[in-house]
Amino acid sequence: MAALAEWHHVTKDYHGKGVFDLCLQLEEGETLGFLGPNGAGKTTTIRQLMGFIRPDHGTVRLFGQDPFVSCAVQTRVGYLPGETAFPPDMTGGQFLHFMARYRGANCLARAEQLAEYFELDMGGKLKRMSKGTKQKVAIVNAFMHDPQLYVLDEPTSGLDPLMQNRFVELVRAEQKRGKTILLSSHMFEEVEKTCQRTAIIREGHIVAVRDMQALSNSRRKLFTVELDTSAQAEQCAAVFSGAQVSGVHVTFPVTARQADAAVKKLAQFCVKDISVRSQTLEELFLHFYEEEEA
């Protein structure tokens, strides 16, 4: 496979913030997740790819060209920014008509299909739209001209759960058509449902690029059990690595592979109640960063 997007030892330093010696490739036909907490450098990385800012050091290539010099390559990209900004006096429909003319693309029929899919009323003024409605306009704008590459920065921000699911289905449909997708997010589930590989960024540095299935398997569950007495809680905690005790409650992490063994170990105790939740993305980052540092 050929790389459609490449970052070679890229640095953009904003007085200690930004990205540093970043190396990354997006291969043709793949969907690459880009995970990191807010402020980690995801948007800076994307803005350099789109040619909005120039790196201090290193090179960025989009379809083999410098995006800062060759703006024409952007017509082959469906870009959804992390923060949308629209002409306030336009309606949603007027804005999409303007973008179709700007691109020189006959894509209004596709825009109407997408608007119907996302239950978007394109007749309202952009300045009066809610954040979620503006995000729908941004999604339609990114997808309507049938680009070769999608660059999506926090694409479901502001959408309700139903529309988030519809967006995931749209991405899956584009994957089947062979499109290439870069999806930046801080929502693990969104990336987990759509991406084959995931790059993890921390404080401007790529700390790992992982197969999505492997990363999902490393995401731990947190078991919390309630015992009869605090003494039993202490005994239970001694059985599980990383366990924490709070009165009669014990909380401990379990990977997917450890789940069966953990349940069998719990059978030796009189468990009054049990709850299970997945690690938050922030907890996964902290755990992953600790492993990297070790």
- pLDDT tens by residue, 250-267: 999 998 788 899 999 999
CA distances 134 to 11, 21, 129, 142, Å, are: 32, 35, 6, 12
pLDDT, tens digit, 9 for 90 and up, residues 178-216: 999 999 987 878 888 899 999 999 899 998 898 988 877
Residue 287: its pLDDT value, please?
A: 65
pLDDT, tens digit, 9 for 90 and up, residues 209-220: 989 888 777 778
Question: Does 291 map to a domain?
Answer: no
Residue 15 belongs to domain spanning: 3-211
pLDDT, tens digit, 9 for 90 and up, residues 15-51: 999 999 999 999 999 999 998 888 899 999 999 999 9
As a whole number, the mean pLDDT across the chain is 91
Q: What is the CATH number of the domain that holds 47?
A: 3.40.50.300
Asked if residue 292 has pLDDT above 60, the reply is no
Question: Does 201 map to a domain?
Answer: yes
Question: Does 292 map to a domain?
Answer: no
pLDDT, tens digit, 9 for 90 and up, residues 116-129: 999 999 999 999 99
In the structure encoding, which two tokens stand for residue 242, read together? 């990383």
DSSP string, 162-200: HHHHHHHHHHHHHHHTT-EEEEEES-HHHHHHH-SEEEE
Bridge partners, 251 (sequence order) = 224, 244
C-alpha 209/C-alpha 24 separation (Å) is 9
**Do 77 and 123 share a domain, yes or no?**
yes
